[in-house]
Structure 1
Amino acid sequence: MLLKKSATVPKKKDAGSSHLRPLIGAALISCAVAWLMGHLDYKLSWAFAAVFVGLPFVFFAFTFPRFGLLTALGLSYFIFFIKRIVYNYELPVGLVVEVLLITSAVGVLVRSFLHDEMKPGWYKNKITVMVVLWIAYLLLQAVNPNMTSMSGWQLAFRGIISFIATYYISFYAFNSLQFVRSFTWLWVGLAAFAAAYGIYQEVAGLPPWDLKWVTSSPTLFALNFIQGKFRKFSILGNVSAQGIFMAYAAIFCLVMMMGPFKTKIRIYMAISAVLMLLAMAFSGTRTAYAQVPAGIALYVLMTINNRRTLMLAMGAMAVFIFILFGPIYTPQIIRIRSAFFPSEDSSMQVRDKNRSRIQPYIWTHPIGGGIGTSGEHGREHAPNHELAGFPPDSGYLEVAVEMGWLGLLLNLSVKFVILFTGVHFFYRCKDPEVKILYAAYICSFFSITVAHFAQVATGQLPNGMIYNCTYVILIKLIEFDRSDQSSSYFSS
């Protein structure tokens, strides 16, 4: 009986072999993918890799929208670096960011229908009302009678969709102070890495992939090689994006350094700010040099009664005066000084003449000449348009010529409402951490609005994505204030 019973007992499976099977399967699949990429056509191999690598990310972005937002943010830093390091400057890496954002937005939409996870009335605030009006105006530009081609507007439409997706995801994602912290630490940490890489380029020289890119065309070389050395663009798209983003991040870190944090966090913020300011100087972007005093000045005005603020103001003023009038004449210092004495700079004089020349066109075209009709985009997408080739050299001027003075007025109104909302809630909240987050995001945001006067500063990644998320952060932060949970002042 015992023998019979024991014969029916199933054999115990080998635990080691059961754990090895997934590893063996993964190894075989990896070998198969590598072999196929080595034997397929170049473009087809990249498509094959995108399917096997991209689909899991798309799935997780749909299932976990916060993951999608953070992944898109992280990838936005490395879009241009990936292109340079693989020596393929037409690689559509930016499309991956757009797909992640749209997929995450669809995921939020599905979750809101199935599980009702979006808070009711999320759209009932003044910033969202202004954003909707701005988006509606951009969409109406599709029927602008002054356009000679729809090509430029169609290209801009992709950016509009990405902005809508980012805005919608943000309302779902920023539902706790912890996620605001996670988002903030991620982008600040990656900004510090971008600063460190820019300093590495300055100290060790441009790596082969960066050197090949910057010398790939006469235009790029002329823009980046000034006074016998290359300007440093780090992992970002160009020197302008690097300089503006480093100034934005440095202001943020300087303000956060004044917050109610542990000493080690303040030290980290201080070191990061120094690295970012150095990287900004090495980029040679004069617009960025004006951003820093603008952001610090706003913080001083907002917290003038704080003893730490007075110390920061005095220290910043001493450094500023030394940079402008000190006995140092390095190329970076000379370029910084030229930003504050524009009358002595020939390029600024040319820009002023262009602005004066285009003013009659702006006044006679209240809705502008159409999106994508000015500058180099105009040459490419609307070569027969009278604005084609005209260099705006300013985000506000670009809005004025392409969307008219009505569009410029609406654009400025959006920025005013955002800043007013942030400042209002800054004075209402009591929690020290929420208060310093408000100050840091407001001052950085304000610095970008200043930079937009001299550059097209808000659409460049990753700065543009952080800038767009700031809209929602300024709305949501007040909900996490321990002393005031309601924010009815801006409710519709």
Structure 2
Amino acid sequence: MSSFNNDINPFETNSGSLRLANLNILIPVIAIALLMAFVIIKIEILGFILCLTLFIVIALLYVIFKKPKTGIFLLIILGFFVTGAGRYVSAPWGLTIDALLVLIYIALFFKAFAEKIHWIKAKSSLTWVVTIWMGYVLLQIGNPEAQSIEAWFYAMRGVAFYQWLSIPLLFILFNKSKDLDTFFIIWGILSLLGTLKGFQQFHFGVDPFEQRWLNQGGAETHILFGKLRVFSFYSDAGQFGASQAHTGVVFGILAFFKKGNLKLKSFFAFVALAGFLGMLISGTRGAIAVPALGGIMFLILKKNLKFLVLGGILGISIFIFFAYTTIGQGNAEIRRMRTAFDPNEASLQVRLSNQNKLKGYLASRPFGGGVGATGNWGQRFTPHTFLANTATDSWYVMIWADTGAVGLIYYLFMIFFILITGAYNVMYKIKDDWLKSQIAALVCGMAGIIMASYGNGVFGQMPTGILMYVSMVFMFISPKMDKLKQKAAIQLH
């Protein structure tokens, strides 16, 4: 049977450039071209930049509506650069994450008219636990202790909203082994760029835009004893150090277990080494918690006595090196990292003192002081309050202060439920060796970030946030991916 419509002669239809002869297309194209030319002539370079930006936005819109999965990859890329972009161009860059997430949902909605979208894939225990958390954060609007709805709006995005929007999308769009492979490649390349930018700051110094950021207040936390705490294009040195350590752990495990592809194994190893270098030059002491707990989780997942003994010896050796020796004390990075093992360190004592103050304040406030009451948002919107002027210095202490003991208990239940599910799948459900190694790497990375988030608020910041959300979804869908791999292997034989 002919595939052509009987009423249309294919040799009489126009295609390609001949379609421009259609006035319905030709007139709008000419009008847009003339408008762009007028804008460029009137405001010169700025006009050119404006038109170029508009062209890129239109192209991205087309690509996302054509293939919504591309929007997820763009979201990951944006996660790496969105916070640092503000140092160069003052704009509400953070809201681009919100806009992109909503745009992907709109693209899926319209795509559903042309083909079936399997919304049911988003149904998961993971979706339920993050939805309950989002619901609790939403109810915080009515918290009688809350002082500002604006603070709630800005703060709740990193605390719950991005996670809640991202996870169902990822279940729907990311469900193949190829998606996981692509995720690792994009992550590795972006992290390498972060290391390169960090090394440039470490070796050559900051650029004029970064210097302006330091002069406007960044130096208070990023110039210690005349030494720069490297932040690359991330929000701060704490996020840079933790994210680089996260990359080091994940890609180190991938490099260790990858077989049969020397190029990919070499790439993973190079990214891992670069990640640990970035962690070291960041000057972030808390980042060492990522390989520490990530390594412990790895030993648990392996269920191998030999690995457990060797890992234990290595861990004890590292602890003794930092806590009980002065080897390498002349190196500023080692010297700063060593202070993380000192229980009498001054900043640790200040943190503990602040936590005691919060304990007394929150004793009669089980739902906290309201989302956005602490940290930068508290300083911006409610600078007169107790919580805004008491440093939390920790992701969990911030969750506790903002949402109370009730919120903290549920939040800890949620993240440990996710971590334990991922670990269980690695230990008992996944049969394919390479997939087991990939998910094990994600579980170990998440364990490290969970630990590091006690020292810094890294869990809800970009790019760690989006990397965590993708990791969570792959942990939960890995048994299905494994079954597909097993089925394909049986059919092949």
TM-score range normalised by the length of the shorter chain? 0.7 to 0.9
Structure 1 residues 83 and 145: alpha-carbon distance in aligned structure 2, compared to 1, 3 A threshold: closer
Structure 2 counterpart of 1:91: 91
User: Could you give the per-residue CA deviations for residues 212-263 of structure 1, whole angstroms, max 9, x where no partner exists?
Assistant: 3323x2x311211123221211121211110111111111111112223333
CA apart distance, 1:380: 2.0
Structure 1 residues 37 and 413: alpha-carbon distance in aligned structure 2, compared to 1, 3 A threshold: farther
* Aligned pairs (5 A) from 1:223-234: 223-234=221-232
Structure 1 residues 79 and 181: alpha-carbon distance in aligned structure 2, compared to 1, 3 A threshold: same
CA apart distance, 1:430: 0.7
Structure 2 counterpart of 1:450: 451
Contact 1:396 1:452 in 2 (8 A): yes
Contact 2:121 2:172 in 1 (8 A): no
Structure 1 residues 354 and 166: alpha-carbon distance in aligned structure 2, compared to 1, 3 A threshold: same
AA aligned opposite 1:259: F
Structure 1 counterpart of 2:472: 471
CA apart distance, 1:347: 0.9
1:70 counterpart = 2:68? no
Structure 2 counterpart of 1:176: 176
- Structure 1 gaps of 5+ residues are 1-14, 20-24, 487-492
Contact 2:156 2:372 in 1 (8 A): no
Structure 1 counterpart of 2:412: 412
CA apart distance, 1:207: 3.0
Structure 1 residues 301 and 198: alpha-carbon distance in aligned structure 2, compared to 1, 3 A threshold: same
| C-alpha separation in 1, matches of 2:318 and 2:29 | 56
| C-alpha separation in 1, matches of 2:66 and 2:297 | 40
Contact 1:108 1:172 in 2 (8 A): no
**Greater shift in the superposed pair: 270-279 or 204-213:** 204-213
AA aligned opposite 2:70: F
| C-alpha separation in 2, matches of 1:154 and 1:35 | 39
CA apart distance, 1:365: 0.8
Q: Report SS of the residue matched to 2:155.
A: helix
CA apart distance, 1:175: 1.6
TM-score under structure 2 normalisation? 0.84
CA apart distance, 1:407: 0.3
Which of 239, 242, 250 in structure 2 is aligned with 1:241? 239
Contact 1:58 1:100 in 2 (8 A): no
CA apart distance, 1:397: 1.0
Contact 2:246 2:449 in 1 (8 A): yes
1:363 counterpart = 2:363? yes
AA aligned opposite 2:452: A
TM-score under structure 1 normalisation? 0.85
| C-alpha separation in 1, matches of 2:144 and 2:47 | 41
| C-alpha separation in 1, matches of 2:272 and 2:377 | 35
Aligned residues: 462
Structure 1 residues 369 and 94: alpha-carbon distance in aligned structure 2, compared to 1, 3 A threshold: closer
AA aligned opposite 1:137: Y
Which of 55, 59, 66 in structure 1 is aligned with 2:58? 55
* Aligned pairs (5 A) from 1:254-269: 254-261=252-259, 262-269=261-268
Structure 1 residues 376 and 76: alpha-carbon distance in aligned structure 2, compared to 1, 3 A threshold: closer
Structure 1 residues 48 and 313: alpha-carbon distance in aligned structure 2, compared to 1, 3 A threshold: farther
User: Could you give the per-residue CA deviations for residues 82-128 of structure 1, whole angstroms, max 9, x where no partner exists?
Assistant: 333xx43x2233333332221112222444565332153531x3222
AA aligned opposite 1:72: L
User: Could you give the per-residue CA deviations for residues 364-417 of structure 1, whole angstroms, max 9, x where no partner exists?
Assistant: 111111111123322322234332222111111111111110000110010111
* Aligned pairs (5 A) from 1:58-457: 58-84=61-87, 87-88=88-89, 90-112=90-112, 115-118=115-118, 120=120, 122-123=122-123, 125-159=124-158, 160-215=160-215, 217=216, 219-261=217-259, 262-305=261-304, 318=317, 321-324=320-323, 325=325, 327-329=327-329, 330-343=331-344, 345-427=345-427, 428-457=429-458
| C-alpha separation in 2, matches of 1:411 and 1:50 | 40
Structure 1 residues 320 and 17: alpha-carbon distance in aligned structure 2, compared to 1, 3 A threshold: farther
Contact 2:245 2:278 in 1 (8 A): no
Q: Report SS of the residue matched to 1:388.
A: helix
Q: Report SS of the residue matched to 2:378.
A: helix
User: Could you give the per-residue CA deviations for residues 16-42 of structure 1, whole angstroms, max 9, x where no partner exists?
Assistant: 9999xxxxx999989974873574499
| C-alpha separation in 2, matches of 1:222 and 1:38 | 44
| C-alpha separation in 2, matches of 1:157 and 1:398 | 12
User: Could you give the per-residue CA deviations for residues 138-165 of structure 1, whole angstroms, max 9, x where no partner exists?
Assistant: 1111111111221211223545443333
Q: Report SS of the residue matched to 2:107.
A: helix
Structure 1 residues 255 and 398: alpha-carbon distance in aligned structure 2, compared to 1, 3 A threshold: same
CA apart distance, 1:187: 1.0
Structure 2 counterpart of 1:3: none
Identity %: 25
Structure 1 residues 240 and 44: alpha-carbon distance in aligned structure 2, compared to 1, 3 A threshold: farther
AA aligned opposite 2:173: A
| C-alpha separation in 1, matches of 2:485 and 2:455 | 39
AA aligned opposite 1:474: M
CA apart distance, 1:65: 1.2
Structure 1 residues 485 and 119: alpha-carbon distance in aligned structure 2, compared to 1, 3 A threshold: farther
| C-alpha separation in 2, matches of 1:332 and 1:31 | 57
AA aligned opposite 2:141: A
Q: Report SS of the residue matched to 1:430.
A: coil
Structure 1 residues 290 and 161: alpha-carbon distance in aligned structure 2, compared to 1, 3 A threshold: closer
CA apart distance, 1:421: 0.7
Structure 1 residues 187 and 38: alpha-carbon distance in aligned structure 2, compared to 1, 3 A threshold: farther
CA apart distance, 1:354: 0.7
Contact 2:299 2:307 in 1 (8 A): no
Contact 1:431 1:483 in 2 (8 A): no
| C-alpha separation in 2, matches of 1:205 and 1:375 | 28
AA aligned opposite 2:144: P
AA aligned opposite 1:363: A
| C-alpha separation in 2, matches of 1:104 and 1:398 | 30
Q: Report SS of the residue matched to 1:370.
A: coil
| C-alpha separation in 1, matches of 2:399 and 2:218 | 25
User: Could you give the per-residue CA deviations for residues 450-488 of structure 1, whole angstroms, max 9, x where no partner exists?
Assistant: 1121211112111111112222111112111148879xx
CA apart distance, 1:311: 5.7
Contact 1:422 1:475 in 2 (8 A): yes
Contact 1:152 1:377 in 2 (8 A): yes
AA aligned opposite 1:258: F
CA apart distance, 1:422: 0.3
Contact 1:422 1:474 in 2 (8 A): yes
